[in-house]
Amino acid sequence: MTPLLPNYLGGQWHTGTGAGAPLVDPVLGTELVRVDATGLDLAAGFAYAREQGGKALRALSYRARGALLAEVLKVLQSKRDTYYEIATANCGTVKNDSAIDIDGGLFTLGTYARMGETLGDRHTLLDGELARLGKDPLFQSQHVLAPTRGLALLINAFNFPSWGLWEKAAPALLSGVAVIVKPATATAWLTQRMVQDVVEAGILPNGALSVICGSARGLMDQLQPFDVVSFTGSAETAAVIRSHPAVTQRSVRVNIEADSLNSALLLPGNEPGSEAFELLVKEVAREMTQKSGQKCTAIRRVFVPESCYQAAAQAIAARLAKTTVGNPRNESVRMGALVSREQLQSVQAGLIRLKTQTEVLFDGSTQPLIDADASTACCVAPTLLGTRNASGSAQADLVHDTEVFGPVATLLPYAHVGNDVSHALALVRRGQGSLVCSLYGSDSAALAQAAQALADSHGRLHIISPDVASSHTGHGNVMPQSLHGGPGRAGGGEELGGARALNFYHRRSAVQASTDVLRHLSTSSN
């Protein structure tokens, strides 16, 4: 009988009372485990997290909480092999793609563990400088950040069960805020196992870290005014969260990361065969195939000068043709499966939709799957689409509005006179706000100018020039030191960004007092 994964809530393990939802191997089609949250006392569990877990965390300094995160990291590092096995079975990813999720999550956790040492033995953070409130400097104002006395509900997407957990939980725990994580059902096993390993190690205070697997029904109902919720997923679900009474009536703070039509832009003057051109081709092919295109930061639209359209199509196709697709257990496979049958159907439907306005420049489905049954495996080959009319509202509106969450991208030409990229910038902005846009070129001034022009509509600008060809971190790779999030369609949220991530889990207050009183703020405790 398939095992039912337990939930951890209220400082105890609980097995759901329902039949549970099956988690399936997306390549073999076999049932792995089941998850269920039926019968949980959510109200008591949320109260326990606030009153026990949060209180115990706030009693510690940032340095002490950072030390706890360092111990958590050691536990997780000792069990990496198990996590890789789960990722292969439940996520269908090849080893290199599993590393993006697993090792990326551990790297982020380590970054915030070290940050605790930097923040020191304080219990609150100073925000900005002292500000005079009058001519006499004796009475002044100092803004401070204090950990919220609520909890953090983390609702995560299916594509990053490890990184999605730790990129949110690490800054929350370092801030002194208890965490309840709700992973996406399809790939919840890895998140649940990591939480289980941390809980069993006895590192964190009771109630500091909880996990609920299965249906999310009723979770938002438990939120109180000082709680926060961080969500990654579809725009439709984000709209439901934003309209929930916890948000509209109780002012629960919300961070949203939603859909994103991320772009890659080749600047003029970088002809086929140039180093910048080749860097674009390499990055587009990599972004299309990493994790089978199931990254919220993956490149979806590729903009090149009109004169480069055909050459770019051929060069990207040549790279994609080398991508072997199939069972990630086979060492010759370079791209595994989508995470579920539902996701496969979504990608197939999206492709059909985009093909009504595009031509197929490369179709990887002509190659057979390796060591996988096409009737069972949730595998889809990389597909490069293109249209020579990127501007027409009727001819290309779907391209600028439809995100296919798989190994699919669309090549789009833009017109220019000399180095004028105003047409390209306008096309990029038709994505209505994105997580990331990468720029390719060899003219530093032109790259900087384009970045400044696009900064208002992107959470991150990733500039790849020949001088950083071997050192840049990748278009879709989210580094904890830099902001993750984006305006408009991307959800309007902000995560990571180094110490900026802690702001979401703190409350800002202006303390008006004598200069002598304000001197003691940096060392005061709760």
Instruction: Find the Cα–Cα–Cα–Cα dihedral 212, 218, 221, 226, rounded to 10°.
Output: 10
Three-state DSSP at 202 gives coil
Decide: residue 93, CB within 10 A, 0-12 exposed, 13-18 middle, 19+ buried: buried
Q: How far apart are CA 450 and CA 453, in angstroms?
A: 5
Q: Is 296 a catalytic residue?
A: yes
Joined tokens for residue 106: 């551990």
Catalytic residue among 91, 213, 296, 379: 296
Q: How far apart are CA 101 and CA 107, in angstroms?
A: 10
Enumerate long-range contacts of 199-203, CB under 8 Å, 24 or more apart: 199/8, 201/71, 201/72, 201/75, 203/68, 203/71, 203/72, 203/75
Enumerate long-range contacts of 343-348, CB under 8 Å, 24 or more apart: 343/158, 343/186, 343/294, 343/378, 343/405, 343/406, 344/378, 344/379, 344/380, 346/404, 346/405, 346/406, 347/380, 347/404, 347/405, 347/406, 347/408, 348/380
Three-state DSSP at 203 gives coil
Catalytic residue among 91, 167, 213, 257: 257
Which residue type occupies 424? A
**Helix and strand totals (H; E) in the chain:** 16, 22
Beta bridge partners of 262: 299
Least Cα distance to 123 among 54, 62, 67, 69 occurs for: 62
Beta bridge partners of 229: 153, 254
Other Cβ atoms less than 10 A from the Cβ of 426: the count is 12
The answer to whether residues 223 and 252 touch, using CB atoms and an 8 Å cutoff, is yes
Concatenated DSSP letters of 356-410: TS-EEEEEGGGSPPBSS-TTT------EEEE-S--S-HHHHTTTTT----SSEEE
Catalytic residue positions? 257, 296
